[in-house]
Amino acid sequence: MKFAYRFAALAAVLTLPACVAPSSSGRPAAPAPRPAPPVQVPRTDPAPPSNGFIPPTVQRIRGLEPVIGRDAGELQRLFGRARLTTPEGDAVKLQFTGEPCVLDVYLYPLRPGAEPVATHVQARRGSDGAEVDRASCVAALRR
């Protein structure tokens, strides 16, 4: 009777591979994965206007009110002569320096053909280039 049980178990093991279709490599084929359902992702960036002009993002930080929105002439009346004036396409970068910090002011036109105005400010220490508070730098250079 022991022999009959062993024979039945061996027969079951030997016929098991016949239940799975072999792949071209001779191994059983893995079941096909189910495709993930499509996901709708909302568009986050608007298409540029047909004229190609993309309005700049204007920095809104407390303490930068004397700078943001001003043109190059107004900024030079506020801080003195710019150390550097760098045209970059239709934009301009002005750099003002003093003992406490270096202030980079980026001016961009808000509309096609408009005069560039300050829209972004960066500030750093002149000694090591470490970032400093922008509003504090503006206040220090105004004195």
Check residue 32 and give its pLDDT: 72
Q: What is the pLDDT of residues 73-114, one digit of tens each?
A: 999 999 999 999 999 889 999 999 999 999 999 999 999 989
Q: How far is CA 117 from CA 1, 23, 24, 69, 75, in A?
A: 98, 68, 68, 5, 9
Question: How many structural domains compose the chain?
Answer: 1
Has residue 79 been placed in a domain?
A: yes
Say which CATH number the domain at 76 has. Answer: 3.10.450
**Predicted structure pTM score:** 0.65
Q: What percent of the chain has pLDDT over 90?
A: 57
Asked if residue 19 has pLDDT above 90, the reply is no
pLDDT at 96: 97
Q: Is 104 domain-assigned?
A: yes
